[in-house]
Structure 1
Amino acid sequence: MTEQANKSLQNFLLSRELSNKKVLVCILNWGLGHASRCIPLIESFEKLNNEVFVLSSGPALELISKNFPGRKCIDSGEADMRYGKSSLATSIKIALQSPRFIRNIRVEEKLVEEICQQEQIDFILSDNRYGCRSKLAKSVFLGHQLNIPVPIGGSVVQALNKRLLNRFDEVWVPDYEGPQSLAGRLAKVLDLKVPIAYIGPLSRFNRKAAERMPSVYDKIFILSGPEPQRSLFEADILAGKYTESSDGRMVIVRGLPQEKGELKVPENWASFNHLNTEELLNLIEESKEIVCRSGYSSIMDLHTIQRVAKLVPTPGQAEQEYLALLHKSSDLILGNS
């Protein structure tokens, strides 16, 4: 986030009297996007002398641990969300995992209640974790999907979403309100009983990307998301699906902060399992083109650094398919609406 956006975020937090408090940030482990967009929030909380605790698991918790070494990180231990190998298979897999999702809400509630009692938590920020709330602390839900796009059962899903959101004290939407919205109809206001605040896009990047000439790489591929779709995307990239020539210089960032092994790539390619924020931005600046998933955190990052990309939605993930269509033109990302 730019310096101006960071100041605006800190002023917003101060308007909610969030200084010198104990804050629990609960992050969904569903790819790296939820964790990366919480980085500027955690930084702002700490600048206002709040003590921050983080609850997450898997790669998301690993990303936060690497960005905030020595902080109090708690492993919630839930199983990763799994996708299918096709759009239909992914839709079926998500539907079959719904009972586990409901059960996990109850597990989260119990765990968060214990943490609040042990650590005397004053404030909870829950990024897309519906069970991370407590009567012992003000509880805020962070999310851009007030309207969840699903291929079937839409009215049931929307009713459940509304019911779960109304259990929180407030909802924060990381987006602009109105025609400049990056999430489009996903972030349009529901008839909620609790207050909704549009806090602006969140990005771990803190500046516009400079254009370095000549470029070192023709393309940078930035991977993310649940398996097996992350690996299938990687395989398609290596098979040349998104390259016009085998002669160009390419670099792939795999989105695997826990991985130790190296990926075998052609001689004119470079590969990184994971990069920190500044390293990734430098690599983006050295690349002519960007290819990435159309997840909302990627959209916010592109908006912040003012770069366009070839957006490739995860098959079967209706949210990403909608966002890829919404941002087919670069106007919203570049602020030209």
Structure 2
Amino acid sequence: MGSVFVSPLNWGLGHASRDVPIIRELLHQRHEVTVGASGNALAFLKKECPECRFIQFEDYPIPHNNGRIFLPTYTAYIPTLIDAYLSERKKAVKIFSQNTFDLIISDSRSGVYSEKVPSIQITHQLHQSLPLIAWPLELLGVYIQADAFSKFARIVVPDNPPERGALAGKLSRSLVPALREQIYYCGIVASVRKEPVKRDIDYLIVISGMEPQRTALEKILMRQIPHLPGRKVVLLGKPAADQIRTLEDGTVIYSFVSSEEKSLLISRARFIICRSGYTTMMDIAEAGLKSGLFIPTPGQWEQEYLSRYYEDEGWFFSRSQYGLRLSRDIPLAAGFSGFPAMTTTEENVRRLYRKVLSEYL
């Protein structure tokens, strides 16, 4: 059978998490899968998909995000990003010259493609969302991205088509007509399954994302969680660790859980408190969880846009971490409906393999 190279971006665990169902489908179809990744993404995928072969493959350094001045910080970071992209291209060419693959799947890594082997890009960001003051840069970015995407045979978007209640809103729509011919909307691809269990966890708190904001949120929430009533579970998103501890008030804290364990926890939860990262949003939609409070990462325009979009749709309530007060914000979140029902990941991934991936394998 065919040999596939899969390479997710290591900015948080979102990219690696959503690639797990795709990797498992490829393995189920008896293909050989090689994963090229680094850091937490590599550690996570080694635990989730041990049948794969693994290559240490560094990606882009994460821009420091202290929140409120992220725009000038990120602008100053662009030359570093360009250098990292060029380095990634050299490493990718070397890997592809030393190994034989039938298909390359890149998750948000623009430099991971081959001119000789069919290459697919997985992304939900066809349209970046920037602050209003930077709208010319937002428009310019659409066309710069379209040029980068032109190096790939297909663009797989893990979202519903725009006309069918897109979970990513404008982010998964392209303004470039030529690019639309490459796009395949596969529906949500979540890292969890909805389990037939009783919802007996009052609050599931998921602390995730890039540093240093992941740790900043952890400090803010851990001061307030003991004051919440009922059964509480906290997921810290630290795959390099493997610890469980219980606080005096009974709150259970996991440094890391597998996809199977996370499926059970999110299926048991009555209410979730988390970042509005897109992968987490797909998990919530998959599990059918209807109540929650989202806390966008400061300076991450995608999460800030999604939070506004979901409030406007009446789906979920959000609050900035700078003004977060759980005793006030949780009751305010009760008046929202949750995401509408969507086709399951299992069905979406099988269709993705049948209609797109199998064409190259």
Q: TM-score range by the shorter chain?
A: 0.7 to 0.9
For 1:82-113, what per-residue CA distance to the aligned partner results, in whole angstroms no more than 9, with x for missing partners? 44232x23333322222222122222222222
In the TM superposition, what is the alpha-carbon distance from 1:286 to its structure 2 partner?
A: 3.3
Q: Which residue identity is paired with 2:23? A: I
Q: Which residue identity is paired with 2:209? A: G
For 1:35-61, what per-residue CA distance to the aligned partner results, in whole angstroms no more than 9, with x for missing partners? 000001101111222111111111111
In the TM superposition, what is the alpha-carbon distance from 1:263 to its structure 2 partner?
A: 7.1
Question: Structure 1 residue 212 and structure 2 residue 198: aligned?
Answer: yes
In the TM superposition, what is the alpha-carbon distance from 1:190 to its structure 2 partner?
A: 3.1
- Residue aligned with 2:202, SS: strand
Q: Which residue identity is paired with 1:320? A: Q
Partner of 1:326: 309
Take 2:102 and 2:130, find their aligned partners in 1: how far apart are those partners?
35
Partner of 1:251: 233
Point out where structure 2 has 5 or more consecutive residues left out of the alignment.
316-336, 343-361
Take 2:127 and 2:212, find their aligned partners in 1: how far apart are those partners?
26
Take 1:30 and 1:263, find their aligned partners in 2: how far apart are those partners?
26
Take 1:332 and 1:144, find their aligned partners in 2: how far apart are those partners?
20
For 1:171-199, what per-residue CA distance to the aligned partner results, in whole angstroms no more than 9, with x for missing partners? 11111112321111111133134611111
Structure 1 residue corresponding to 2:141, chosen from 147, 157, 178: 157
Distance 1:125 1:332, change over 3 A: farther
Q: Which residue identity is paired with 1:200? A: G
In the TM superposition, what is the alpha-carbon distance from 1:209 to its structure 2 partner?
A: 4.0
Partner of 1:202: 189
In the TM superposition, what is the alpha-carbon distance from 1:259 to its structure 2 partner?
A: 2.7
Point out where structure 1 has 5 or more consecutive residues left out of the alignment.
1-19
- The answer to whether the 8 A contact 2:246-2:252 is kept is no
Question: Structure 1 residue 103 and structure 2 residue 88: aligned?
Answer: no
**Structure 1 length as normaliser, TM-score?**
0.86
Take 2:196 and 2:310, find their aligned partners in 1: how far apart are those partners?
22
Matched residue count:
311
- The answer to whether the 8 A contact 1:209-1:306 is kept is no
Structure 1 residue corresponding to 2:168, chosen from 183, 192, 209: 183
Partner of 2:4: 23
Partner of 1:14: none
- Residue aligned with 2:4, SS: strand
Q: Which residue identity is paired with 2:80? A: R
User: After the TM superposition, which residues 116-131 of structure 1 pair with which residues of structure 2 at under 5 Å, given as runs?
Assistant: 116-131=96-111
Partner of 1:57: 38
Distance 1:83 1:306, change over 3 A: farther
- The answer to whether the 8 A contact 1:307-1:334 is kept is no
- The answer to whether the 8 A contact 2:32-2:52 is kept is no
- The answer to whether the 8 A contact 1:91-1:317 is kept is no
- Residue aligned with 1:164, SS: helix
Question: Structure 1 residue 317 and structure 2 residue 300: aligned?
Answer: yes
Take 1:220 and 1:188, find their aligned partners in 2: how far apart are those partners?
31
- The answer to whether the 8 A contact 2:192-2:262 is kept is no
Take 2:218 and 2:59, find their aligned partners in 1: how far apart are those partners?
25
In the TM superposition, what is the alpha-carbon distance from 1:136 to its structure 2 partner?
A: 2.0
Q: Percent identity?
A: 29
Take 2:33 and 2:303, find their aligned partners in 1: how far apart are those partners?
31
**Structure 2 length as normaliser, TM-score?**
0.80
Question: Structure 1 residue 222 and structure 2 residue 228: aligned?
Answer: no
RMSD of Structure 2 on Structure 1 (CA):
2.2
Q: Which residue identity is paired with 2:173? A: K
